[in-house]
Homo-oligomer: A and B are copies of this chain.
Amino acid sequence: MRIGVLGAGQLGRMLALAGHPLGFELVCLDPARDAPAGQVAEHLAAPYDDELALARLAACDVVTYEFESVPVATARELARTTPVHPSPDALAIAQDRWTEKSCFRELGIPTAPFARVDSEDELRAAVDKLGLPAVLKTRRFGYDGKGQSVLCRDADIASAWRELGRAPLILEGFVRFQRELSLLSVRSTTGETAFYPLVENEHSHGILRLSRAPARGLTPALQATAEDYGRRLLDRLGYAGVLALELFEEGGTLLANEMAPRVHNSGHFSIEGAVTSQFENHLRAITGLPLGSTALRASAAMLNFVGAPPEPALVLAVPDAHLHLYGKEPRPGRKLGHATVLAPDETTRETRIASLEKTLAARDESR
């Protein structure tokens, strides 16, 4: 079976590595000549609107994406002839923070208070309504903390408007969350649904740095609440594939922050840490195969390598550590790879995370 993929970054690369053993041939479309998936799958280096390349994808058995800023028009065009999963509608909703948060609200999934902002007057009205602090965000194309501005005082309103006001915006109430969690859900074209245990995420400079799976002190009640929200989304969107839902935990309640209609950085632990990886389950889901178990094999943690690669020998000397490099040229702020550590219990996990972090420190000192 041939699977077309919009995007050929590291997510596409890991999809391809999961796909080969299942007998799937992946064909990835990505304008970047040196895209990471190109080393392990067929890569069409062309713009997302290249007719010849799109015809090649349309000839696949199913099309998916690994990158949510893919033009919705492209996904819709492909869907006229070829199954596209997740659906272009899910993609469209997730691309816009306003439609996304509105979808959460419509489904009764709690969020921070939010208001649509299309002018400086609307921004002032929204601040009056939501209070300060609040976060002004572009509705589209934000990622890794980009396109955001925190408003603490009235004086910040004008400067934030100058910074971001050229694009459609959303103002969100500032959430004093205890931690960020994410739920990786997966739903097959057959309707079969599964959820990974909640992951706890730490960011640095807006980029995911560390994930722990399961989240520390995870209770069945918290997991059940998150799964309830995940299930509402999957069913509402008629979803097939992996869906990542980012959640803030604030005083025992969960607030949905955003969703990504694709495999997700916070799910990378699942390659070794779960019975079935998010990549394999995404492929199973969009091809209608039975889903694999989402149970954990151990306590897992994932550490991203951003900007500079680690010394492989140092990473691999950590017990039960697994290295994943993406074949990318180093560049500041660029995700170059990750390592996952497994451990029999949470205490050992923390020790191993500390060992992994030392490999980063060694790298930074040697620069």
A316 interface neighbour in B20, B289, B324, Cβ under 8 Å:
B289
Among A22, A317, A337, chain B packs the most CB atoms within 10 A around the CB of A22
Q: A4-47 toward B: CB 8 Å interface, digit per residue (1/0)?
A: 00000000010001001111010000000000000110000000
Among A13, A21, A324, A327, chain B packs the most CB atoms within 10 A around the CB of A21
Flag whether A49 is at the interface (Cβ < 8 A).
Answer: no
Majority-rule SS of A interface residues: mixed
Cα A20 to Cα B271 with chains together (Å): 14
Closest to A317 in B: B290
**CB-based contact B21/A324 at 8 Å:** yes
**CB-based contact B289/A22 at 8 Å:** no
Q: A275-309 toward B: CB 8 Å interface, digit per residue (1/0)?
A: 10000000010000110110001000000000001
Closest to A42 in B: B39
**CB-based contact A23/B325 at 8 Å:** yes
Size of A's binding interface in residues, CB under 8 A: 30
Flag whether A206 is at the interface (Cβ < 8 A).
Answer: no
Q: A39 contacts which chain B residues (CB < 8 A)?
A: 20, 25
**CB-based contact A275/B22 at 8 Å:** no
Cα A323 to Cα B1 with chains together (Å): 15
Q: A333 contacts which chain B residues (CB < 8 A)?
A: none
Flag whether A319 is at the interface (Cβ < 8 A).
Answer: yes
Flag whether A320 is at the interface (Cβ < 8 A).
Answer: yes
Cα A186 to Cα B265 with chains together (Å): 33
Among A23, A319, A342, chain B packs the most CB atoms within 10 A around the CB of A23
Cα A156 to Cα B17 with chains together (Å): 51
Flag whether A312 is at the interface (Cβ < 8 A).
Answer: yes
**Interchain Cβ contacts under 8 Å between A and B, 9 examples:** A17-B21, A20-B39, A21-B324, A22-B312, A23-B309, A40-B40, A284-B316, A289-B316, A290-B313
7 further interface pairs, Cβ-Cβ under 8 Å (given A21-B322, A22-B325): A22-B312, A23-B309, A25-B39, A275-B342, A284-B316, A289-B312, A293-B319
